[in-house]
Structure 1
Amino acid sequence: MGTKENPIKTWSRACRIPPEFVGKYFQVHNGRIFIDVYISEDMVGHALGEFAPTRTFRGHGEIVKRTLEKT
């Protein structure tokens, strides 16, 4: 359990990362799919969900050709 071939699958995004998890592989659910997360020493004390983003940033509004014609 917790290896790259056999990661620990979890839906618990609020779970805090203890030092015992360092070096383990997790699959954290982001609401749609599972995101692979490798736990390093810097992640201790944070929540698992912080490393599996739930939203896709598509950038700020781009200028559309139709909008340019109106101005």
Structure 2
Amino acid sequence: MDPQEREAPPGEKPEPVQTHLRNVTIVPQMIRSVIREYNGQTFNPVEIKPEMIGHCLAEFSISYKPVKHGRPGIGAIHSSRFIPLKRVHGGKFKGHPMSLCFYQNSHES
């Protein structure tokens, strides 16, 4: 990219350059330029600033959708293994883990 070709009049942004190269290291000659970086679906505009020198372009255009964890579904075996499935002491267990401790301690005396 030749800086003289992409210069814009004062107060305007230069014409963006489109690229698929996400592993390009940002150098000082790229400051104040606009690059449209491909993230796998769309071209995201990235304006190069002095703080970005030395970083890769991929760091400024996320290529995945962040995970939003919801409630466990039907197949959630991992989370349901902490819920007791059997009745304790003839069905007198109330369902709360602390009630089991109080029930056992009350019959020890």
TM-score, normalising length: structure 1: 0.79
Unaligned ranges ≥5, structure 2: 1-5, 75-82, 84-109
Structure with the greater alpha carbon radius of gyration: 2
TM-score, normalising length: structure 2: 0.53
Q: 2:62 aligns with which of 49, 53, 61?
A: 53
Q: What's the CA shift for 1:5?
A: 5.6
Greater RCO (Cα-Cα under 8 Å, separation 6 or more): 1
- Residue matched to 1:44: 53
State whether structure 2 residue 38 is matched by structure 1 residue 29: yes
The DSSP-based 3-state class of the residue aligned with 1:42 is: helix
Q: What's the CA shift for 1:6?
A: 1.6
Q: What's the CA shift for 1:21?
A: 0.5
Paired residues of 2:14 and 2:33 also in contact (CA < 8 A): no
Paired residues of 1:11 and 1:29 also in contact (CA < 8 A): yes
Q: Name the CA distance, whole Å, in 2 between partners of 1:33 and 1:59.
A: 22
The DSSP-based 3-state class of the residue aligned with 1:50 is: helix
Name the one with the larger strand percent.
1
Listed one character per residue, the Cα deviations across residues 23-63 of structure 1 (whole Å, up to 9, x for unaligned) are 11000000111001000011000011111100011411x12
